[in-house]
Amino acid sequence: MANLGKLNVLMCGTGEYTTGWTGSGASKSDKKIGVVGLTMFDLRRLGKIGNLGMVGVNGSKFPAIRQHLQENIGSVYKDMDTSFEEFPKGGKVDPEAYKEAIDNMSPGDAVIIFTPDNTHYPISLYAIKRGIHVLVTKPATQLLSDHNELIEAARKHNVVCFVEHHKRFDPVYSDAKARAQALGEFNFFNAWMSQPKSQLETFKAWAGKDSDISYYLSSHHIDICCWILQDKAVPTRVVASAATGIATGEPYNCVPQTEDTITLLVDWQSLNSPRHKGTAVYTASWTAPLTAGVHSAQHWYYMGEKGDINVDQAHRGYDITVDETGKTWYNPFYMKYSPSESGHFDGQRGYGYISIEKFVDAACKVNAGTAKPSDYDTHGYPTIANTVLTTAILNAGRISLDEKRPVGIKKSGDRWLLE
Tens digit of each residue's pLDDT (9 = 90 or more) over 178-191: 999 999 999 999 99
At residue 39, the pLDDT reads 98
How far is the first Cα of the chain from the last one, in angstroms, to the nearest whole number?
A: 49
Which helix (H) or strand (E) element contains residue 398?
Answer: helix 388-403
The mean pLDDT of 11-27, rounded to a whole number, is 85
DSSP 104: T
- Using only C-alpha atoms, what is the Rg of the chain? 21
At residue 29, the pLDDT reads 57
CB 153 within 8 A of CB 126: no
At residue 2, the pLDDT reads 45
Q: Is the pLDDT of residue 139 over 90?
A: yes
Band (pLDDT 50/70/90 cuts) for residue 27 is low
At residue 26, the pLDDT reads 64
For the ranges 50-59, 142-151, 193-202, 238-247, the lowest mean pLDDT is seen at 193-202
At residue 31, the pLDDT reads 55
The mean pLDDT of 88-114, rounded to a whole number, is 97
The mean pLDDT of 125-132, rounded to a whole number, is 98
Distance CA 159, CA 128 (A): 7
Q: Is the pLDDT of residue 1 over 50?
A: no
Mean pLDDT of the chain: 94
The mean pLDDT of 117-141, rounded to a whole number, is 97
CA distance to 17, 41, 191, 296, 329, per residue, from 349 (Å): 18, 16, 26, 20, 19
Distance CA 337, CA 76 (A): 10
Instruction: Kindly write down the DSSP assignment for every residue of 324-365, as one continuous string.
Output: TTEEEE--TTT---S--TTSS---TTSHHHHHHHHHHHHHHH
Select the highest-mean-pLDDT range: 71-75, 194-198, 289-293: 71-75
Band (pLDDT 50/70/90 cuts) for residue 330 is confident
With CA atoms as reference, report the closest residue to 19 among 67, 58, 51: 67
Q: Is the pLDDT of residue 231 over 70?
A: yes
pLDDT in tens, 99-109: 999 999 999 99
At residue 351, the pLDDT reads 96
Phi/psi class of residue 307: alpha, beta or left (left: φ > 0; alpha: ψ in -120 to 50)? left
In the chain, the largest separation of any two C-alpha atoms, in whole Å, equals: 63
Band (pLDDT 50/70/90 cuts) for residue 316 is confident
Band (pLDDT 50/70/90 cuts) for residue 62 is very high
Q: Is the pLDDT of residue 324 over 70?
A: yes
DSSP 117: G
